[in-house]
C-alpha cells in the first residue's frame, strides 16, 4: 500500500522540485503567505514528474500506448514527412495528456530506432488536429524486426515548452521502455504500419506501457467505442 504513494520521480523533475524547495525556504523567512503558494507549486511538480512502474504486455506484435491520457483522435493520414516513410495514409492514434496525467513516454513495441527528427513550431492546444503538423515536435521512426515501420511523435502543447527524448539512432528498444517526456501538457501520436487498425476508440483512457493499442499480428478491423 505504501508503494502506491511513494511513486518514483523522473530525474527531469528534480531541478524543478529542488528549486521550489529552495525558493519556499527563502520566502518563509521573508513573506510566509507567498511561501505557501510556492509549496503548492512544488508539490504539483512532484505530482507531475511521477514515474510509476507499469506492467507491460510482452506478447510479440502488441503495440502499447506510449503515454497516459485520452484518445483524442483515430484517423488515417500520411506519416510525418520528416521520417521518410511511405506517403500513403496509415492509422494514426492521438493521445492527449492533460497536466494531471503521467507525462513519461514509453516505446510502443520492440524494434530499432532508425530516424529521429526534431521540428520547431507553434504551441497550439495539443488537442487540435493541426497540432500534429504545426506544433513543436519530436518524431521517431521505429523499424520492426520484419522491416515494417511505426512512428511515434511527441508534440508540445499550449503549456508544454520542453520535449525530452532520450533515444538515439540505431538503438534497439523494447515495448514499454521509457524514452522521454513532455513537460506540462502535450500530445503523443502513434502511426501504425500499413494495414494495421486501432483497437482503441476516441475518448478511451490510455495507460502508458499497459494499454494495448493495436496488434501487428492481427487483421482485426478498427474497434468502435461508445459511452455507456
Residues 98 and 34 in one domain: no
Q: Do 30 and 72 belong to one domain?
A: no
Q: Which of 1-10, 32-41, 62-71, 205-214 is predicted least confidently?
A: 1-10
Q: Domains in the chain: how many in total?
A: 2
Range in 24-33, 75-84, 121-130, 196-205 the model is least confident about: 121-130
Average pLDDT of the residues of the chain: 88
- Three-state SS annotation for 45-97: HHHHCECCCCCCCCCCCEEECCCCEEEEEEEEECCCHHHCCCCCCEEEEEEEE
Active-site entry in 24, 94, 186, 198 = 186
For residues 90 and 16, membership in a common domain is answered with: no
Chain centroid offset of residue 33 CA: 36
- Residue 87 annotated as catalytic: no
Give the residue with greater pLDDT, 124 vs 13: 13
- Residue 29 belongs to domain spanning: 2-48
Tens of pLDDT, residues 78-97 = 999 999 998 899 999 999 99
Is 41 in the same domain as 76? no
Amino acid at each position: 500500500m505504501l508503494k502506491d504513494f511513494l511513486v518514483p520521480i523522473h530525474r527531469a523533475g528534480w531541478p524543478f522540485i529542488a528549486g521550489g524547495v529552495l525558493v519556499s525556504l527563502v520566502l518563509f523567512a521573508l513573506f510566509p503567505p507567498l511561501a505557501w503558494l510556492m509549496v503548492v507549486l512544488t508539490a504539483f511538480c512532484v505530482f507531475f514528474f511521477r514515474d510509476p512502474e507499469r506492467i507491460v504486455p510482452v506478447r510479440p506484435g502488441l503495440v502499447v500506448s506510449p503515454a497516459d491520457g485520452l484518445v483524442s483522435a483515430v484517423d488515417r493520414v500520411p506519416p510525418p514527412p520528416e521520417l521518410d516513410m511511405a506517403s500513403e495514409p496509415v492509422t494514426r492514434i492521438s493521445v492527449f495528456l492533460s497536466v494531471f496525467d503521467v507525462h513519461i513516454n514509453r516505446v510502443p513495441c520492440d524494434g530499432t530506432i532508425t530516424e529521429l527528427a526534431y521540428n520547431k513550431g507553434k504551441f497550439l492546444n495539443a488537442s487540435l488536429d493541426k497540432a500534429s503538423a504545426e506544433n513543436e515536435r519530436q518524431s521517431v521512426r521505429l523499424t520492426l524486426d520484419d522491416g515494417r515501420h511505426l512512428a511515434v511523435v511527441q508534440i508540445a502543447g499550449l503549456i508544454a515548452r520542453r520535449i525530452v527524448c532520450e533515444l538515439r539512432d540505431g538503438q534497439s528498444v523494447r515495448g514499454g521502455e521509457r524514452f522521454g517526456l513532455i513537460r506540462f501538457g502535450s500530445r503523443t501520436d502513434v502511426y501504425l504500419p500499413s494495414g494495421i487498425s486501432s483497437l482503441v476508440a476516441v475518448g478511451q483512457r490510455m495507460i502508458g506501457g499497459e494499454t494495448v493499442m493495436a496488434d501487428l499480428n492481427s487483421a482485426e478491423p478498427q474497434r468502435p467505442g461508445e459511452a455507456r
